[in-house]
Chains A and B, each alone.
Chain A
Amino acid sequence: MSADAGRAAGEAADGVAGGAAVGPAGGLAVGDVVAERTVHLTREDLVRYAGASGDFNPIHYRDDVAASVGLPGVLAHGMLTMGVAVQPVVDWAGGPGRILDYGVRFTRPVVVDAHAGVDLVVTARVGALDDAVARVDLTVTAGGESVLGRAQVRVSLA
């Protein structure tokens, strides 16, 4: 399949099931930005994640508790940031089944203001490539500062 055919099939399959010909097919190079997304998080999102994940640590919804342990404010769960950040790659890759491996370092807390919330800005770039696997490197910032380190997703191209 040519690169153009791959792209066309990918567009056609977009929003349908995890079709084989989405994103990664053809024409990929190291350094390519494959996805970008800005996600706005509010306190409501933290409560929703607490319920969905079972992580009810009060530093993620109570200002008084966060202050009492010396934090700059209520923080997003690290696993919420990690979970949100991979989604543009899942969509690009053509579904969750293509994710082979995903790892991050939590380098800076994400403070979620009670009124303003916070924007997470995700950029996904091809960091390494062979015939079968692309390593996609994520840059994730909040308030202009990087919050994840060595955030890498290995995506099956097969």
Chain B
Amino acid sequence: MPVNPQLQGRVFPPTEPYLVGREKIREFSRAVRATHPTHLDLDAARAAGYADLVAPPTFAVVVQERSLDRLLTDPDAGIDLAHVVHGEQRFAFSRPIVAGDELVGTLTVTSVKTLGATSMVTAESVVADVAGGHVVTAVSTLVVRGEDA
């Protein structure tokens, strides 16, 4: 089944709030070899003006993933996860993610382009805190290969 071209412009409902944990930030930091003290040391983070530990930039993907799931598991979308490759990724920050944040992601499919058996789907997740303040916009381009590609 090809990717549904009518996905373009579709906005999915916001995700449930994701509570960013201090130990999750330490765990993620270790996994991506992030060693800046503000990721690991509470005193250093507070000295730099943050309320708690600061997440590495790509931690935003953990929150984005939850909104992307709504697209990937939508039976109408026609996207088979086994055929999806990550093509591009971008994050644009208003501020870094900090432990204690409760974050909500709202996903919009901004573009669907199909060339032969391959489709490129671009989805933008706007991640905000529960007060509504913008934190980061995460944009993913997924390459969906057709059955015969």
Contact = CB atoms under 8 A, between A and B. Distances in A.
A53 B93 contact: no
B65 A54 contact: yes
A51 to B, nearest CB: 8
A18 B48 contact: yes
Given A91-B35, A101-B91, A101-B92, A86 B58 contact: yes
Chain B interface size range: 35 or more
Interface in A70-95: 78-80, 82-84, 86-87, 90-91, 95
A69 B33 CA distance: 29
Q: Interface of chain B, helix or strand or loop or mixed?
A: mixed
A55 interface: yes
A97 B32 CA distance: 17
A80 B32 contact: yes
Interface stretch (A1-9, A102-110, A124-132, A135-143): A102-110
A15 interface: yes
A69 B85 CA distance: 12
B119 interface: no
B65 A55 contact: yes
Nearest to B85: A106
Interface stretch (B8-16, B37-45, B123-131): B37-45
B86 A79 contact: yes
Contact of A52 (B28, B36, B89, B96): B28
18 contacts: A16-B37, A17-B38, A17-B48, A51-B27, A53-B28, A83-B31, A86-B57, A87-B36, A90-B56, A95-B54, A96-B34, A96-B54, A102-B57, A104-B89, A105-B88, A106-B85, A106-B86, A106-B88
Interface of B: 24, 27-28, 30-39, 44-45, 47-48, 50, 54-58, 61-62, 65, 82, 85-93, 95-96, 139
